[in-house]
Structure 1
C-alpha cells in the first residue's frame, strides 16, 4: 500500500512540475502524506507550490463573493454573509461573523488566525526537513528555502496587521504537544521577525524567473513585504516599532532593483497578468473554475449581476476633479447635480455610475425605469449605494461564462511601493523632491496634474493619504491604513453614503445623497479578537484589549 501511495504522489508531483499552468494553482501535495514528501525532490517542489495556492486572494475573501474592501469605508457588501458584524463593531471572540469560517477553505482567506497558523506549521516542517531531502540541487534547495521564508513572513505579517503581537512559532508541533504554555510575543518582536525573514528570503531569491516559474516569490517580493511591514511598524498604531527612515529605505530598495515600471493604463493594469508593474500576483487558471466570477458577483442587476461589493459615496467623493482639487474645494468645478464629469480618470476605471458606458449601453441607476435600478430585473440585486464595481472587471467576459474570471490578484505592485516610500520619506524628512516625484509618477500615469509645490509636511501627508485611497482602492489597504494612521474612529464611524437619482418626464436628473448603512467603530477594533476556542485551549494566550 505504501508503494502504491508513493507512486501516486510521485506521479502527481511530476505532473505538477511538467504541466504548463500557473504556479499558484498547483494542487496541494502536502496533505496527502507525511514523511514521504521529504524523500523526493519533485514532491518537495510540489509541496512548495501548494503553499502558493493556499496564500488565498482577495476576490473572494471568505470563499464566497466578499472582498475585504467591504470591511472598510470603500465598499459595502450587499448580501451580508457576516461582513456587517465587522461594519457594526459587533465582533467578539465568540461572534466572528465572516471570520468564523473553519479550517477547510476554498481559496479565500477565511479566519486569519487559523489559516495562518496552519500554514506556518507546514512551513516549519519544511525548514526541519529540507536539509535532508535527497536529489535536490543546491540552487533549488536555496530557492525553495527563500520562497518558504517569504511565505512564512507573509503569514506572520498578516497575523500582525490583524492581531498585533502573536505567538512566534518556528518549530513544528507533534500530535499531543503541549500548546498551553505558548504566549504572545510583542508587536516589536513579531515585526523584527518578519523583517528578518524577508531579508533572508531576498538574499536567496532571484530578481526574476524564466517563463516556467512566473508567479514565484522574487527578491522584489521579499523586499516589498519588508517595506510594507516597516511602513506599518513606523505608523502611530504600532508603537511605533520602526523609524520612518527605515521604512523609506526599505521601499527605495525595491525601486532600486530597476525591475519594475508603472503600467501605462491604470484600468488595464488589473486585467493584465505579470505586467511590468506587478511584483507578485496570482493568476487564475483558464480551466473550468466557474466559482471565481467577478463580473457576475459585482455587476449591475440590469446585466444579470449581483451587486456584491458596492462602492460607497464615501469612496466616490475622494476622487478629485481633473483640476487636481478635492470636490470640497469651491474652485474645483465640482457640481453635485452633475457629479461625474471631469473626475480623476481612476474613478472611471474603478466605479460604475449612472451614465457610465458599459457593455454596449449606459448604466442606468436612475428611477423610475432605470435598467440597473430597483425598477430593473432582479431588484434584490440592485446596488444600495447607487454604484457598482468596475475595477478588476473584464467587460469582454460574459456573466454566464463557464470558466472562472481571469483577472490577476496583485499582492504587491510598484504603485503601492511608491506610495509607501512617499509616506515614509515625508514623515522622516518632509516633502522633499523625492516625495513629490514618487506621488507624481502615479498622477501622471492617471493623467492628473502634479501636486502643487510648496506643500507643508502636514499638507503632503493629507495628499498622500488621499492618493492611497484612490490609487489602491479595493486592494485591501484602506481597512489597515485608517487603523495604522489612527483615524479609523473618524472614517469608520461615518455612515455608508450613497446616491439616489430621479429622472423627471423631461429627462432631467436630480441627485440626492443619502445614508445607506450606519457604521460603528470602537478602539478595540484596531485589531481582531482572537477566536474564543483558541483562548480557551490555552489560558496563557492573552485576548486583545476590549474583547
Structure 2
C-alpha cells in the first residue's frame, strides 16, 4: 500500500479529547505519514477530530442557509447563491452541490482508512473503541448527508466502504437507496455498540445516544412516502422502534425553557458544534440578526411560517391564525403560541440594544430595523430570534469577532419525540401519538393546550413539527420526504408592511415578497457534472439525478 500524507485539521477544543495533553490543539495543519497516524493513538485521534471538524469547516454556510432556504419558513434577498437554489436556478456546475458532494466523499475516504486501521488496534483498549465508534458514526453521518441531498426515490449514491489507495479506481455506480440506508444502519449499529453513553462521554463527541438519534432519523426518512411509496408498515414499525429505543434509554430530556435551548448547554441538546473563533466558526448571528444589531440578514422568516403559530382563544382553545378574523388581523401577534415570540422578532417585540438594555423592534418604513441598512433589512417585516445571541451586538460592536458563540444544534431530543409521534400516527396509533405531541406542547415555557386524539390530524402534526423545529433545517427535508414539495414550494411568499398612524399605532398590510419556482428536479440536487463525467469514463451507465 502506498504511503500518503494526511492533512489533519486539528479539532476545536469544544470536542474534548481522550487524552489530557495541554498542547493537543494546534491552529495549523499537521502533516503526518499514514503509518505514523495509524500507529499512534494521539495522532489517530487527531484524524478522527478532522472528520468531526470538517462537517463544519466546509459546509457551514450550506447548513445555516441552504437547508433553511430550501423550505418555506424563510426567504432571502441578499445571499444570491442561496437565492439561486431557492428559485430552482441551480445547475450541475453550481458550487453548492459540488462542495456538499466532494467534501462528503473526502471524509468518507478518510473514515475508510481509519476504520481499516483502528479495527486492529485492540491494544489501545477503550480509546480504540471510542475512536472506532466515532469513525463509524461519522461515515454514517456523511452518507446521510449525501442521501438527503442527492438520493431518494430508490436512488442511492456510490457506496464506498473499503479503504483504497489514491490510484485505486473509486468510480463505482450508484447503489440503491435501500442498500445505502442499510449501510448507514450497519455503521450506526457499530457506533451504538462501541460508543459510551452520553453521561460517560466528553461533551459534543459522538456517543451512543447521538448514534441512536441519527438511526431514528434515517429510519423515519426511509419510511416516508418519498422512499416508501407502497407505505410498507414494517418500515414505519422499524422507525418507531428505533426512536422508542432512544426515548426509553432516558439519556435526554426536554428542556423547560424553549428559547433557552439554543443559548445554553442543557439536557435536550444531543449533537452540536460551537465556534472556537479560530479554526472553526459559524456565523448564524450575522445571517439572522437585524442590521441595527450588526447583522446582515441573509435569511428572514416568511409570513407563511408566522401564520402557522396558533392563537389561544379566551376559552383556552388553540385555533389556527386567520387573517379573515378581524380580531386576529388587528392584533396579529397577540395571544400566539409562546414559541412564536421565542423564535421570531416582529414589530413591537423586545430585543437588545447593544448596551445592556432593551429596545423595541421597529420595522415600519422609518424604523431602525429597516433604515439601519436598507440592503440588509428584512423584506418580510420579521427577523429570526431563535438561536440569536443577545450579546452579539454588544460583543461585536466593541471589536469582537463576527462569528457566533452559541451552539449550532444538529440534533435535539425534541426532534426525536416528534419523529416517534409521526411513526405512531402513520401506524394508526393516534392515541399514543397525541401523548408525545402533547409532551412537546406542554413544555413549561410553552404550555399550549393539550390536543385530544381526534384533534391530531396529519395536517396538525405537520404544523406542530413546522413550528417546533422552525429554522432548524428540517422543513426542506420534511416536505420533500412527504412528497409535498411541488405543492408547498411552488408558491408566493409573503410578509407585512407596518403602517403607523399619528400616535404610532400600527396596522399591518400583507404583501407578496417573492414568487418561488420549484421544479420537480430540485427534490434532488444535481451531482457535480465534473464528477459525473469522470465516473462515466469508468461506468458509462452512471446516472445523473433526474432532470439535470
TM-score (norm 1): 0.87
Q: In 2, distance between residues paired with 1:205 and 1:494?
A: 45
Name the counterpart of 1:491. Answer: 488
Name the counterpart of 1:215. Answer: 204
Q: CA deviation at 1:513?
A: 1.0
What aligned pairs does 1:161-172 form with structure 2 within 5 A after superposition? 161-164=148-151, 165-172=156-163
Contact 2:27 2:279 in 1 (8 A): no
What aligned pairs does 1:249-398 form with structure 2 within 5 A after superposition? 249-273=241-265, 275-285=266-276, 292-322=282-312, 323-328=317-322, 335-359=328-352, 360-367=358-365, 369-373=366-370, 376-397=371-392, 398=394
Q: In 1, distance between residues paired with 2:17 and 2:440?
A: 42
Name the counterpart of 1:107. Answer: none
What aligned pairs does 1:364-443 form with structure 2 within 5 A after superposition? 364-367=362-365, 369-373=366-370, 376-397=371-392, 398=394, 399-400=396-397, 401-403=399-401, 404-432=403-431, 434-443=432-441
Q: In 1, distance between residues paired with 2:467 and 2:217?
A: 18
Q: In 2, distance between residues paired with 1:420 and 1:58?
A: 28
SS at match of 1:411: strand
Q: In 2, distance between residues paired with 1:352 and 1:358?
A: 8
Name the counterpart of 2:545. Answer: 544
Q: In 2, distance between residues paired with 1:271 and 1:84?
A: 28
Q: CA deviation at 1:276?
A: 0.6
Q: CA deviation at 1:339?
A: 0.7
Q: In 2, distance between residues paired with 1:80 and 1:192?
A: 37
Q: Which of residues 183, 186, 190 is equivalent to 1:193?
A: 183
> What per-residue deviation string (whole Å, max 9, x for no partner) do you get for residues 346-401 of structure 1?
1111111110111111000012x21112xx22221211111111111121232435
Q: CA deviation at 1:314?
A: 1.2
> What per-residue deviation string (whole Å, max 9, x for no partner) do you get for residues 434-489 of structure 1?
31121111101153434432427xx5321211111111111110010000001111
RMSD of Structure 2 on Structure 1 (CA): 3.0
Structure 1: gaps of 5 or more residues = 101-110
What aligned pairs does 1:172-187 form with structure 2 within 5 A after superposition? 172-180=163-171, 182-187=172-177
TM-score (norm 2): 0.87
Name the counterpart of 1:245. Answer: 237
Q: CA deviation at 1:272?
A: 0.9
Q: In 1, distance between residues paired with 2:58 and 2:408?
A: 7
Structure 2: gaps of 5 or more residues = 353-357
Q: In 1, distance between residues paired with 2:501 and 2:44?
A: 66
Q: In 1, distance between residues paired with 2:32 and 2:72?
A: 42
SS at match of 1:264: coil
Q: In 2, distance between residues paired with 1:99 and 1:260?
A: 34
Q: CA deviation at 1:71?
A: 2.3
Q: CA deviation at 1:186?
A: 0.2
Contact 2:188 2:212 in 1 (8 A): yes
Q: How many residues align?
A: 515
Q: In 2, distance between residues paired with 1:238 and 1:396?
A: 43
Q: Does 1:142 align with 2:129?
A: yes
Inter-CA distance 281–372: structure 2 relative to 1 (3 Å threshold): same
Q: In 1, distance between residues paired with 2:109 and 2:53?
A: 16
Q: Which of residues 505, 508, 513 is equivalent to 1:508?
A: 505
